[in-house]
Every structure is written in C-alpha cells, then in structure tokens.
Structure 1
Amino acid sequence: MDSCQNSSTGEGRHDFARARRIIKTDEFSSVFSLRPTQKSAHFVLYTRQNQLPNARLGIVVAKRFAPRAVTRNTIKRVTRELFRVTSLPAIDCVVRLSRPVNSKDGPATTAKLKAELRQELTRLFANANKPRPAK
C-alpha cells in the first residue's frame, strides 16, 4: 500500500499531502512575521495568503506547554484532522500552542482535553474561513 499515490492535491480533498503542509523554516517564518490572526484559550492562529491552489498547515507544539510526547502528538493529530475536513481558502495557517494544556503529573490525554482542543480549533478554523478586509 503506497500512500504517495493518493497525494495529488485537488479541490475538496481530505488528505494531508506534502503540498498541504508548511515544512520549511522560512515558510514558517514568513507566516510568523505577521500578527496573530486569532487567539483562543490554548492556541494562536497565524494566517497569510498564498498563491497555491490550496491551504497549507503548520503546527508548533512546544515541550514547555505539553511536556509529554503523547499530548503533543494528540494535539497535532486533532489539528490535522480538523484542517483536513475544513475547506479553507488559499492561505497558509500556522497553529501554535500558546499555553500549557496539562502537567507531567496527570494523564497525558483525556476525552475532556481532546474535546476542548477540538472545540477551540474548530472555532479558529471556522473564523479563518471568513474573508478579511484587505489593509
């Protein structure tokens, strides 16, 4: 089973192919150089128009805000899942965790935590979909 065969980008696709990711440091930097578009309890969303046929996503989850790898991976997984099912215009989105989500003491992930994160991210992506006035 070769996952690269399904990596073509097309309208309405629900994949997370390489073309839909922000990977390079300078691509992240160009989005970070702008002001945050939105903030929620745990996340900051940065957006920038791109000249591509699709939206792209970058995720930044620092160890200091999510000390356990399980938690960091859960956050990334939930973010990618919501990005895939949300139809966004041609923009680059960087989602950055900006506050601690739990400590090393408690459970790494809980259903409650996942539901809260999913709700926040859904709201951020829905607002990113609204057209912004040009400055």
Structure 2
Amino acid sequence: MQAASQNDGSAVRPACKGKYGFPPSYRLHKTDEFSSVFAFRRTIRGDCFVLHYRPSDTGPRLGVVVAKKLARHAVTRNLLKRLSREHFRRVRTSLPSCDLILRLSRPVKGVSRAHLRRDIAAVMGRLPR
C-alpha cells in the first residue's frame, strides 16, 4: 500500500542557508536610501543597464529599478530583477561596501538572457574597489 501524498500546499521551502541568500539586510528599501544613491551621482554605464553607487559602511546592498516604459510586460520586469539579484548574490562577497542601484536604461525587446547577464556582470565588475 502506498503512502498518501501530501499535496495540500503545506510543503515547507528550506530557508536560505549559506552565503547565497538574499535577506532584507542586503536590499535597499526606503525612498531615502534610493534618493541618497541617486544624489551621489556616481554611475557606471553598460549596454542595457546603469549602475548607480554610493559608498556605505553597512556592506553591499542592492536596489533594482526596471521602468514599465522600458520593459512592458511584468514577466520581463521580474526576469530582469531576478537576474540582477542572482548575480548580486553570487558576487556579493567580492563587492566593495556600497549601496547599489541597477537601473534599466533602454528597452530590452529582442535582447537575449545571456547578453543581459553579461551586461549585469560587466557593470558590477567595473565598480571601484
């Protein structure tokens, strides 16, 4: 006799353990935090993205801005945010202590995921140490 399968949606996802999680302390949350980074006026331009940065003493934190005007569909906006957070999680330990805002700067219609990943890696790789 087979055991009854538990398919009531109560499956528990394991907590993010290790160094690759993305807890709230790694994010920019408030409007003032975003405003202070934009006001610092330091940028690194890539093909599709602009990286705004400001030195901080709290360790690297990330904010992502994807305008609806440049990425019309929610699926696309969510993909861009997911790719950005994924790259940030992987390289966070090697980044300088800065508040970062990754902002989409041009429409991405017809741009491949590989190109987006390379562009994100390129702008984050050019941060001053």
Task: Flag whether TM exceeds 0.5 (same fold).
Answer: yes
Q: Which residue of 2 aligns with 1:109?
A: none
TM-score after normalising by structure 1: 0.78
Contact 2:42 2:54 in 1 (8 A): no
Which ranges in structure 1 are unaligned for 5 or more consecutive residues? 107-111
Amino acid at match of 1:18: P
User: Residues 44, 36 of structure 1: CA spacing in aligned structure 2 closer, same or farther, 3 A cutoff?
Assistant: farther
Number of aligned residues: 116
Runs of 4+ off more than 3 Å: none
Task: Please point out which of 64, 75, 78 is paired with 1:73.
Answer: 78
Tell me the CA shift for residue 127 of structure 1: 1.0
TM-score after normalising by structure 2: 0.82
Amino acid at match of 1:95: L
Tell me the CA shift for residue 36 of structure 1: 3.8
Contact 1:36 1:44 in 2 (8 A): no
- Return the alpha-carbon distance in structure 2 between the equivalents of residues 114 and 88 of structure 1: 23
Contact 2:50 2:105 in 1 (8 A): yes
1:86-115 CA distances to partner (integer Å, 9 max, x unpaired)?
12121100000011111xxx7xxxxx6111
- Percent same amino acid at aligned positions? 44
- Are 1:95 and 2:102 counterparts? yes
- Are 1:64 and 2:69 counterparts? yes
Q: Which residue of 2 aligns with 1:113?
A: 112
Which ranges in structure 2 are unaligned for 5 or more consecutive residues? 1-11
